[in-house]
Structure 1
Amino acid sequence: MSKAAEIDIVSVSKIYGATTAVEDISLKIPAGTYCCLLGPSGCGKTSTLRMIAGHESISSGDVRLGNTVVTDLPPARRGTAMMFQSYALFPHLDLVDNVAFSLKMKGVGKEERRAKALDMLKLMQMEGYASRRPAQLSGGQQQRVALARALITDPEALLLDEPLSALDPFLKIRMRAELKKLQTSLGITFVHVTHSQEEAMALADLIVVMNDGRIEQAAHPRVVFERPATAFVARFMGDHNVVSGRVSGSRDGMVVFDVPGGASLAASGQGRAIGEPIDIAIRTDHVRIGDPPATGLGFTGIASNVEYRGSTVKLSVNGAGIEDFTVIVDDTSFFAKPVAVGDAVPIAWDAEDAIVLGRLDS
């Protein structure tokens, strides 16, 4: 296998007519990283992947792979390989010829390319199916063949466009583990586009959260989960409550702010001007119910929904100026002091669990 390459995206934009799909993004993906581009539909993640691959031209900026600027190189000369969402296998060819296709296009002799294709099928535990056609395979098997075909060129980086989206939930989880294992054993750079937070958390060393053509945060999954950079990341990852207000002062190394039509809350942070808008994030599983809150670190609300989830219970609470505040409580604590819809619930959190969020300059 070839060595992994660092991917360096420098001030890259993609403009289609009057629409900016990707706006001036810069990102370094270290060699040998499993990177997931994550975000909602239309956020620019697939356009970014296709620009790295060379299937989409770059409006401005550069892409570098290792020491080579590949901005103007055709896909076949970049040292990348792309696996498409649809797998795009040739229905009339057997698996060996499907996998060997790119080597055939490069003029590699029949014996050599078929031998290499069989090696790749072996790597995917698919050698027993070598003489079959794609239509005779399950979705998971077709995916392995598509992976073998992408990897036969010894790429320095493998680019995957929503590779698990067509699979059923159980197979998704199994293939997720196999992709991670494959990336670890090959040691090459993987760049994987997904809209699933769970998939990105399970696979990535580096999560790049995109929104509206820009990068909101690029960090290790644990950092993205525990310290979201912006309100968008906190909401999109789904594990934080976001509360917005205006700064009203400071106290004991904390910033104090007022929620419109509601409470006065506090969060760890300083240096904020009075009247300035502020967003804070509070982890859903770091909130306690039933405790009277310390000043600015909680409120009393009305339970609007209770969902039993087995090991945890999810509560939705509405307070003055705060709607649908989510609390995840372990089942033992909840059933020791159960709460019903309509009950008044005091909820509280610790100062270090209230994070002041940044804002992207618009």
Structure 2
Amino acid sequence: MPKAAEIDIVSVSKIYGATTAVHAISLKIPAGSYCCFLGPSGCGKTSTLRMIAGHESISSGDLRLGHVVVTDFPPARRNTAMMFQSYALFPHLDLVDNVAFSLKMKGVDKETRRAKALAMLRLMQMEAYAGRRPAQLSGGQQQRVALARALITEPEALLLDEPLSALDPFLKIRMRAELKKLQKTLGITFVHVTHSQEEAMALADLIVVMNDGRIEQAAAPRIVFEQPATAFVARFMGDHNVLSGRVSAIRDGIVEMEAAGGPRFAVRDIAQEIGAPIDIGIRTDRVRLEPASEKTLGFQAVVSNIEYRGASVKLTVSGAGSDDFTVIVSDADYFNKTVSVGDAVSLSWALEDVVPLGRLSA
């Protein structure tokens, strides 16, 4: 069984000409964990993965795998393996020779490498297809072969560049379950790049949310979901509304915020000055379609869109300076008291459902 490596990224930057793709990021990925880098296109997550692999040079900073600084090591010396988005299988070779290829390049004898390749195909439940070529396989089967080929060298870390993006929705769900099971079985460090919030939540022990070449938040999925660190994380994860304004009062540990258009809201436990800009997050499923009371907060809004989702209904409303404030209600609650596009509605939530959001420094 291969050992797992801790990955320590220390003030690592990547610069392409006049463009900085990754801005001096620092991160520790625990050995044996499943880490997902998450963010929109162009945020720097793939550049970071490729620097870990050694396929991109590091412009500044250092990278440590286990106890070894590998900043200047070529990919072959890092004891990592990378699975590419395209799978990059050799069309003219059967599955055994595809999986065994890296061992062949290392000079391992034919009998030994074929035995190891068959063992890896057995692990991936692909042994029955050993004599086939990639074109004779489905997308999910090709992915399993690519995984077998990456794992045959017994890496300390497996690096995956959007491995599920080419699969249909049903197969994606099945394959992510298999990836999680495989990672737990092998016990090695997995680093997985994705732009899918659902995928990261389902797979990761550690989610690293990136934006514009910087890390906005690195935490366990539940923390990212319940306590987004910044307005970007709250918006990108899609489970919090963001309201922006300025601090209008501070008393007894409660900060009062005045939003665009005049509504005032409160948030606990945040040090601010009067007049300072402030962002707050409110979980979309904690907002109620009812007027605010003495114990709750809220505002008046106008419904702009309604989406039926089966067990829930998503309402988009405008008000308090937001054009896309979202409310998720159960289907039973919605159909007990339906509303239509254009209707005025009262919204409310509890003070404990308000999350103070930080602002990432440049």
TM-score by length of 1: 0.98
Q: Which residue of 1 aligns with 2:87?
A: 87
Q: Which residue of 2 aligns with 1:46?
A: 46
Whichever residue aligns with residue 264 of structure 2, its letter is S
With over 3 angstroms needed to count, the CA separation of the structure-2 counterparts of 1:27 and 1:270, relative to structure 1, is closer
SS at match of 2:51: helix
Q: Comparing 284-293 with 28-37, which one deviates more in the overlay?
A: 284-293
Distance 2:86 2:321 in 1: 46
1:237 maps to 2:237: yes
Q: Which residue of 2 aligns with 1:316?
A: 316
Q: CA deviation at 1:29?
A: 0.3
Distance 1:297 1:117 in 2: 61
Whichever residue aligns with residue 326 of structure 1, its letter is T
Q: Which residue of 2 aligns with 1:353?
A: 353
1:109 maps to 2:109: yes
Distance 2:51 2:177 in 1: 27
Q: Which residue of 1 aligns with 2:200?
A: 200
Distance 1:13 1:89 in 2: 31
Q: CA deviation at 1:266?
A: 1.3
Distance 2:265 2:38 in 1: 31
Distance 1:256 1:71 in 2: 48
Q: Which residue of 2 aligns with 1:14?
A: 14
Distance 1:294 1:49 in 2: 50
Q: % of aligned pairs identical?
A: 78
Q: CA deviation at 1:269?
A: 2.6
Distance 1:348 1:252 in 2: 22
SS at match of 1:232: helix
Distance 1:16 1:294 in 2: 55
Whichever residue aligns with residue 68 of structure 1, its letter is V
Q: Which residue of 2 aligns with 1:70?
A: 70
Distance 2:296 2:257 in 1: 9
Q: CA deviation at 1:253?
A: 2.1
SS at match of 1:217: strand
1:32 maps to 2:53: no
Q: Which residue of 1 aligns with 2:180?
A: 180
Q: Which residue of 2 aligns with 1:127?
A: 127
Report matched runs for 1:162-177 at 5 Å: 162-177=162-177
Distance 1:56 1:320 in 2: 45
Show CA shifts across 1:139-172 (max 9, x none).
1111000000000000000000000001111111
Q: CA deviation at 1:307?
A: 1.6
Whichever residue aligns with residue 233 of structure 1, its letter is V
Q: CA deviation at 1:296?
A: 7.5
Distance 1:320 1:125 in 2: 54
Whichever residue aligns with residue 306 of structure 1, its letter is I
- The answer to whether the Cα contact below 8 Å between 2:292 and 2:349 also exists between their aligned partners in 1 is no
Q: CA deviation at 1:342?
A: 2.1
State how many pairs are aligned: 362
- The answer to whether the Cα contact below 8 Å between 1:289 and 1:345 also exists between their aligned partners in 2 is yes
- The answer to whether the Cα contact below 8 Å between 2:270 and 2:356 also exists between their aligned partners in 1 is no
Whichever residue aligns with residue 161 of structure 2, its letter is D
Distance 2:25 2:160 in 1: 20
Q: Which residue of 2 aligns with 1:264?
A: 264
Q: CA deviation at 1:320?
A: 4.3
Q: CA deviation at 1:262?
A: 2.9
1:327 maps to 2:330: no
Show CA shifts across 1:290-323 (max 9, x none).
2334478111112222221111111112224332
Runs of 4+ aligned structure 1 residues displaced above 6 Å come to: none
Gaps of 5+ in 1: none
SS at match of 1:258: strand
- The answer to whether the Cα contact below 8 Å between 1:264 and 1:296 also exists between their aligned partners in 2 is no
Distance 2:305 2:293 in 1: 21
Distance 1:104 1:67 in 2: 28
Whichever residue aligns with residue 70 of structure 2, its letter is V
Whichever residue aligns with residue 353 of structure 2, its letter is D
- The answer to whether the Cα contact below 8 Å between 2:243 and 2:320 also exists between their aligned partners in 1 is no
Q: Which residue of 1 aligns with 2:224?
A: 224
Show CA shifts across 1:323-343 (max 9, x none).
221100111112222222222
Distance 1:294 1:332 in 2: 26
SS at match of 2:20: strand
- The answer to whether the Cα contact below 8 Å between 1:294 and 1:348 also exists between their aligned partners in 2 is no
Show CA shifts across 1:247-270 (max 9, x none).
111244211111122311111234
With over 3 angstroms needed to count, the CA separation of the structure-2 counterparts of 1:69 and 1:220, relative to structure 1, is same
Q: Which residue of 2 aligns with 1:285?
A: 285
1:255 maps to 2:246: no
With over 3 angstroms needed to count, the CA separation of the structure-2 counterparts of 1:64 and 1:320, relative to structure 1, is closer
Q: CA deviation at 1:77?
A: 1.0
Distance 1:293 1:279 in 2: 23
Distance 1:287 1:77 in 2: 52
Q: Which residue of 1 aligns with 2:23?
A: 23
Gaps of 5+ in 2: none
Distance 2:76 2:293 in 1: 61
